[in-house]
Amino acid sequence: MRDYLIIGSGLFGAVFAHEAKKAGKSVLVIERRDHVGGNIYCEEMDGINVHKYGAHIFHTSYKDVWEYVNQFVEFNNYVNSPVANYKGELYNLPFNMNTFAKLWGIVTPAEAAAKILEQRTAIKGEPQNLEEQAISLVGTDIYTKLIKGYTEKQWGCNCTELPAFIIKRLPVRYTFDNNYFNDRYQGIPMGGYNKLISALLDEIDVRTGVDYNDSRAEFEGIAQKVVYTGPVDAYFAYKLGQLEYRGLRFATERLEEVNHQGVAVMNYTEREVPYTRVIEHKHFEFGMQPITYVTKEYPTDWHPGEEAYYPVNNERNQRLYQQYAELAAKEEKVIFGGRLAEYKYYDMDDVIKSALECACRELH
């Protein structure tokens, strides 16, 4: 009998598997998809690492997590500085002095602050939803041009129906600084994310193309404990109802061009363009290839059985998740971890931190 059966080879499963093996435990990883890595998986096309499940930029303020990943692969010095395209007008992101200067023709931080102050007077007290939070942070002009359309197509509902925290992910700065993240450390693995996953899963038994929830009987009694990183409601056969997600569709094209858009990520912020972002993958690794690959990212309604991308954080889903979490807590031989099992809008560094903490509690 093995010590651990790990369901899912994304970052949570791969980090846990690595730590368990290092602690002398025997491990088997099973993965539903036909490849390992979960959402960070890349496919190499003409020497360019194409991010198959959306652009992934590693950023963290956890020194221990940064040192952890750098043991396995060296990271480059890529800094994410996306550009917003609103009806052909280009603005720097995140919201900073470059954005304010282009939008209002102002020059100083004091002038920008005065503009925003004037535009946020409508919001009194603590913001109750994403719209109020956005206006209170950056005023109505930026809300209208750079947030409303993007957010409504991304989430498929009105900004007044979304929680405020989603927009707090983005920095607002009164300096000329286009770095999308405030974190201390940032970069892309040199040679792609698959190198990180391969190193984590080195010498670990992995079976791809196997869905645990469809073949439980086969794995019954195979290990002392299970680490489950799939959707929590699927584990319990949806007996309390289904958690909702936002879906995505990716349309990738190969173009006979050296440089298509001059930036890795361009956000299309008006409602009428059906995609949210266009990714030009080569720029993540400063590629010099004679051709390029671009991917349009279309938000979609999600249907059961499709790939689940973003948890929909509304009250109904949070309540339902809490009920599943109570069931999960009673499963003594199963550890639930990662973005699907915990139904959380986790970044990669959060997932790694959580897997390391889990491994530490479990193995030492």
> Look-up: residue for tokens 């984590």?
200
If one asks whether residue 269 binds ligand UDP (CB under 6 A), the answer comes out as: yes
CB of 154 to ligand FAD, least distance (A): 10
**31 versus 132: smaller Cβ distance to ligand FAD:** 31
How many residues bind ligand UDP (CB under 6 A)? The answer is: 13
Which one among 27, 93, 103, 123 touches ligand UDP, defined by CB under 6 A?
93
Nearer residue to ligand UDP within complex by CB, 236 or 309: 309
Q: How far is the CB of 77 from ligand UDP (least distance, A)?
A: 20
Give me the catalytic one of 43, 177, 183, 246. 246
In the complex, least distance from residue 269 CB atom to ligand UDP, rounded to whole angstroms: 5
The whole-angstrom separation of Cα 264 and Cα 262 is 7
Pick 73 or 134: Cβ nearer ligand UDP: 134
List residues binding ligand FAD (CB under 6 A). 7-13, 30-33, 38-40, 54-58, 211-213, 229-230, 248, 309, 338-340, 346-349, 351
Please report whether residue 273 would count as binding ligand UDP according to CB under 6 A.
no
Does 154 sit near ligand UDP (CB under 6 A)? Answer: yes
What single letter denotes the amino acid at residue 320? L
Q: How many residues does the chain have?
A: 364
With CB under 5 to 8 Å by kind, the binding choice for 93 among ligand UDP, ligand FAD, none is: ligand UDP
List the alpha helices (DSSP H) in the chain: 11-22, 63-72, 97-104, 109-119, 130-142, 149-155, 193-200, 216-219, 232-235, 315-329, 348-363
d(CA 298, CA 276): 6
**Of 4 and 154, CB closest to ligand UDP:** 154
Nearer to ligand UDP, 167 or 273 (CB): 167
Catalytic residue among 33, 120, 173, 339: 173
Min dist CB 263 to ligand FAD, Å, is 15
Q: Which does 264 bind (CB under 5 to 8 A by kind): ligand FAD, ligand UDP, none?
A: none
Which one of the spans 45-53, 62-70, 165-173, 285-293 is the region binding ligand UDP (CB under 6 A)?
Answer: 165-173
Annotated catalytic residue 173? yes
| Residue 94 binds: one of ligand FAD, ligand UDP, none (C-beta under 5 to 8 A by kind) | none
Catalytic residue check, 214: no
* Placement of tokens 């602690």 in the chain: 23
Percentages helix, strand, coil for the chain (3-state, rounded to 5) are 35, 20, 40
Q: If binding is defined by CB under 6 A, does position 39 make contact with ligand UDP?
A: no
At closest approach, how far in Å is the CB of 267 from ligand UDP? 4
Residue found by looking up tokens 């949570």 in the block: 12
Q: Name 13's Cβ contacts closer than 8 Å, sequence gap at least 6.
A: 6, 7, 29, 31, 38, 227, 229, 338, 355
DSSP string, 44-90: EETTEEEETTS---EEES-HHHHHHHHHHS-B-------EEEETTEE
Order across the sheet with 223-228: list the strands. Answer: 205-208, 27-31, 2-7, 223-228, 334-336
Cβ contacts of residue 271 below 8 Å, gap of 6+? 148, 149, 152, 153
Active site includes 277?
yes
Tokens standing for residue 206: 């992995």
> Is the distance from CB of 41 to CB of 250 less than 8 angstroms?
no
246 catalytic residue (yes or no): yes
| Candidates 277, 280, 310, 321; catalytic one | 277
CA angle, residues 346, 350, 351, in degrees to nearest 5: 80
Tell the smallest beta-carbon distance from residue 40 to ligand FAD (Å): 5
Catalytic center residues: 169, 173, 246, 277, 297, 345, 347
